[in-house]
Amino acid sequence: MGNSASECSNEGGGEAPDGPSNNNKGSGHSSASSILKVESTMSRSASGADVTEKYLTQLVPIEKLSEILKEKSLKEGVNGIAANIFVSQVFPQYVDLGQRLFQLMHTLSRATTSYLGTVAFRQQCERFLGIMDDGKILECYIRMYAQKDNPDFVDREGVTRLLHICYTIAMQHSGNPILCPSINRTFSSVTKSIFFSHDTLSVGFVCRWFEQNLIRLVLLVHKYCVHTLSTAYRGLEQEAQSCGIELQTPVLEQRNPFPEKNENAASGDTVDASSTLMPLSQAWLLAGALPPLYSKPQKVTSPSANKASAAQIFIEKLSMMPSHWTLLYDSNEHGLGANRFLHHVLGYRGPTLILIHTKDDQTYLIAAPSEWRETHLYTGGEGSCVLQLWPKFVILEKKPNILYLNTSIRGYPKGLRAASDPRKPIIAVDEHFENVDCKGIAAVLLSIENVIWCGNSPSTLVRLQFKEAN
């Protein structure tokens, strides 16, 4: 990609493509400019571009976009790219995201004017589009939502705003553009896990937490921003305001499995509680934490063509919301007990999710990448996970061979367990499914509210429908 840096730390305030110090790296965490830091002896213009006799961008879409935005900015008396023009034309649906992205590019360019020069804008866009490392991508977005007066630290409000834009973009490209009533509770589980009793934490600490628990959420937003910057000029050339990509409503493979219990209360319609898997925002959070095998994106097909358009293909990749999750077992409906659990869960091939609730208001989740079976051995392939969902959201274990289910084999522990160390299980449900140990602390098992099947076998779906009918 020409002079595009492959890491955030390579990118300074807009150095020339043939500058002598392109390969010098910054520290990565010392300041906002450290993301794309580069040592350079070249002079800079007030608008943030390095002074060069000639600069030719390697990305034609960015070159076209910069010329269009410059022309619109000139009408407001700005000889460059004005922030309000960039936001209103490129990110009209996500104003806060657009403002923060422009501010990041402005800071990295070290411009002394309120606007960005055309060359500086091109340089920063190229470098932003050239970031390939997942960790560096994450750091860019964490810094975008850091404190304005202290860019090395992030507070709870900043993380909440980042989560909100991740959720909003995911919903608007998944066929569920609604606000989940449980969204504040979902966001709170994340901020409690990150901050504990602190009000602010360093950018580096927050980055590490997201890397370990929720990196896919931020990567999805980056996909949207990259696509938007690369294609916005098309709509603007036609004198139309850019939307980044056309928002469409994909065809769900089945009825929305994540309705809220009071979703249609205003209209007098009732929602069957037994058909509700979990709050939509919690399903979205899980899709960002678990491996993709659990959250197969919805199929987006064109009703008028055999092949999907480029926009439709992108939307399919952008959406993480699962449309194929199916309820296998709910102790509130089917009864709590080992026999009831085995009857409804055993024999279903494919990934499953088990939600465990305790009477002291804690929620855990066991993710199994393949079917459950009774054995005295620990099983589970890649993708086996144990998470705490409430009151804090955190991945507790993510390794193969951590799942255990035995209710009949003598001489071995009985019950449902999850842990890499058999002597210290993270989750241990007793053989009667009455009590549970969570990280060594005894608790009363309130319910196994959901066992969710994440497979997509047509024959298994027929079997499920037959079982429900009888």
Question: Looking at 93-107, 204-218, 299-313, which range is the least confident one?
Answer: 299-313
pLDDT of residue 213: 96
What pLDDT score does 117 carry? 94
Distance of CA 392 to the CA centre of its chain: 17
Eight-class DSSP state of 433:
S
Confidence of residue 191 (pLDDT cuts 50, 70, 90): very high
Instruction: Say whether both 194 and 69 belong to one domain.
Output: no
pTM of the model: 0.78
d(CA 321, CA 166): 12
Rg (CA), the chain: 25
- Mention every residue, 6+ apart, whose C-beta is less than 8 A from residue 204: 29
Q: At what angle do helices 156-172 and 215-237 cross, to 10 degrees?
A: 60
**DSSP string computed for 250-301:** PPPSSS-S---TTTTGGGT----GGG--S-HHHHHHHHHHS-GGGSPBPP--
Read out DSSP for 148-175?
SS-TTEEEHHHHHHHHHHHHHHHHHTTT
User: Which of 104, 130, 156 delimits the end of a domain?
Assistant: 130
Q: What percent of the chain has pLDDT over 70?
A: 69
Percent of the chain residues topping a pLDDT of 90: 48
Distance CA 180, CA 82 (A): 35
Residues 448 and 363 reside in one and the same domain: yes
The confidence score (pLDDT) of residue 45 equals 63
- Reported as a pLDDT band with limits 50, 70 and 90, residue 426 is very high
Q: How many domains does the chain have?
A: 3
* CB crowding 33-57: b at 16 or more within 10 Å, else e: bbbbbbebeeebbebbbbebeebeb
Q: Are residues 155 and 113 located together in one domain of the fold?
A: no
CA–CA gap between residue 115 and residue 64 (Å, rounded): 18
Is residue 289 located within the same domain as residue 332? Answer: no
Chain center to CA of 331:
30
Element (H, E) at 435: strand 435-438
Q: Is residue 222 within 8 Å of residue 141, measured between CB atoms?
A: yes
Query: Is residue 331 located within the same domain as residue 413?
Result: yes
For residue 143, being part of any structural domain is answered with yes
Does 341 lie in the same domain as 416?
A: yes
Residue 372 belongs to some domain of the structure: yes
User: Are 72 and 195 within one domain?
Assistant: no
Domain for residue 302, yes or no? no
Q: Are 115 and 140 in the same domain? A: no
- Looking at the fold, whether 329 and 450 belong to one and the same domain comes out as yes
d(CA 200, CA 112): 29
pLDDT score at 259: 52
- Which helix (H) or strand (E) is 406 found in, with range? strand 403-406
What pLDDT shows up at residue 240? Answer: 55
| Average pLDDT score, the chain | 77
Do residues 94 and 176 both lie within one domain?
no
Q: Is position 12 within any domain?
A: no
DSSP string, 66-88: HHHHHHHHHTTT-SSB-HHHHHH
User: Are residues 404 and 454 part of one domain?
Assistant: yes
Residue 258 lies in a domain: no
Answer yes or no: do 143 and 283 share one domain.
yes
Exposure of 186 in the CB half-sphere (CA atoms within 13 A): 20
Q: Give the pLDDT confidence of 198-254 residue by residue, as tens digits.
A: 999 999 999 999 999 998 889 889 999 999 999 999 888 876 554 444 433 332 333
Contact 271, 262 (CB under 8 A): yes
More confident position, 448 or 277: 448
180 within a domain of the structure (yes/no): yes
Which of 130, 157, 178 is the last residue before a domain boundary?
130
Round to whole Å and give the CA distance between 249 and 180: 17
pLDDT digits (tens, 9 = 90+) for 11-67: 333 333 333 334 444 444 444 444 444 333 345 566 666 544 344 445 789 999 999
Last residue of a domain, one of 114, 130, 146: 130
Phi-psi region of 28 (alpha: psi -120 to 50; beta: other; left: phi over 0): left
**Domain span including residue 195:** 131-238+279-295+316-323
Structure tokens at 410: 């003598």
